[in-house]
A and B are shown apart, each in its own frame.
Chain A
Amino acid sequence: MLSFTSIQKIRTIPLQAYLSQKEIDIYKKLLLTKKNDWLAGKFAAKKAIRFYFLKKYQTGFSLKNIEIISGKFQKPDYKILKPSPWGNKILKKIKHNTNICISHSTGAAIAAIASTLKDGLTGVDIEKIRNFTPAVLNSFLAKEEKTAFNRQSDRDKPKLATLLWCVKEAYLKAVGKGLLCHPKFIEARLNIKKNIYEIYDNGRKISTNIQWRVFKKDYIIVEVNVMNTAQQATRNYAN
């Protein structure tokens, strides 16, 4: 379940309406340049979580009662603060079965929540469409991706390069690697018959569900759900 927002949309909402006191304290200490992205990210995540609980359990929470925290393996996590309609045991069980991911870029943010058993691990990325330097392109694109990139018109090249970056990063975030794995080991191949992207991790096809779109003309948004994670979990990433 995906949620996106921009800082323009939430600027007028008082912080107290959607942040817990602990989050407000953290926000106050942030660098000025980081505040907008941080707020947009938290808001998007809380919206996604609230919508998930509403849809799945017909239970609503105030956004300020959902606290976004740092989780394991570089993935964010969340807490439902009291008052909650459930006891700690039930809440723990529900939470254990979900995972979230957040991404932000220059005042825009997306977040996703997924049922781990049903939808697998979720990873998202949002990036402003841009021109990459040849050195960066050469480093992060796999061979076939470079061929696909070179086939594009000059007008479409920034969009494809940004999309390929987003797919790789969203996948790496889903599996909890982030930038700790070089993106060149992850390859996004377009399945022309199905018109979808498929992911190969160190040459091995990964069972994924990838969705992408252009957001506000300037951004690419990607959500990657990685299935059967138990079988795919560990891999050796040699440089």
Chain B
Amino acid sequence: MDKNLENKVFKIISDSLGIVQNEVRLDSKIEELSQDSIQLFGLIMAFENEFQSKVQYEDLMKIETVGDIIGYIKDKNLTPN
């Protein structure tokens, strides 16, 4: 399950930000992967869409890396479509 979730998150990030999947690692910083705030906003929307859940914007403060996103999804018990 964890590996599935990891792959799913990697794919959403690479599709949304237009980067190849093997550039995405657990310790990659989201800010460094995205080019600008519009891309970042698109990424948030892609996750909201995939997990059918509204992201609490206050929670974004706690998310720095790809690993943090996976941790957030697990904490909130979110499941992909």
Of all chain B residues, which has the CB nearest A31? Answer: B32
Residue total for B at the interface (Cβ-Cβ under 8 A): 18
Per-residue CB contact flags for chain A residues 135-172 toward chain B (1 = under 8 Å, else 0) read: 11001100000000000000000000000010001000
B4 at the interface (CB under 8 A from A): no
Per-residue CB contact flags for chain B residues 47-81 toward chain A (1 = under 8 Å, else 0) read: 00100001111101100000000000000000000
Contact assessment for A181 and B57 in the assembled complex, using a CB-CB cutoff below 8 Å: yes
Interface residues in chain A, defined as those with a beta carbon under 8 Å from any beta carbon in chain B: 31, 33-34, 105-106, 125, 127-128, 130, 132-133, 135-136, 139-140, 165, 169, 178-183, 237, 239
Sample of 13 more A-B contacts, CB < 8 Å, known A135-B49, A136-B42, A181-B57: A33-B32, A106-B35, A106-B36, A125-B37, A127-B36, A132-B38, A133-B42, A135-B45, A139-B45, A179-B41, A180-B58, A180-B61, A183-B41
Interface residues in chain B, defined as those with a beta carbon under 8 Å from any beta carbon in chain A: 32, 35-38, 40-42, 44-45, 49, 54-58, 60-61
Write 18 A-B pairs (CB below 8 A) sorted by A numbering: A34-B32, A105-B36, A106-B35, A106-B36, A127-B36, A127-B37, A127-B38, A135-B49, A136-B38, A136-B41, A136-B45, A139-B45, A140-B41, A179-B40, A179-B41, A180-B60, A182-B57, A239-B54
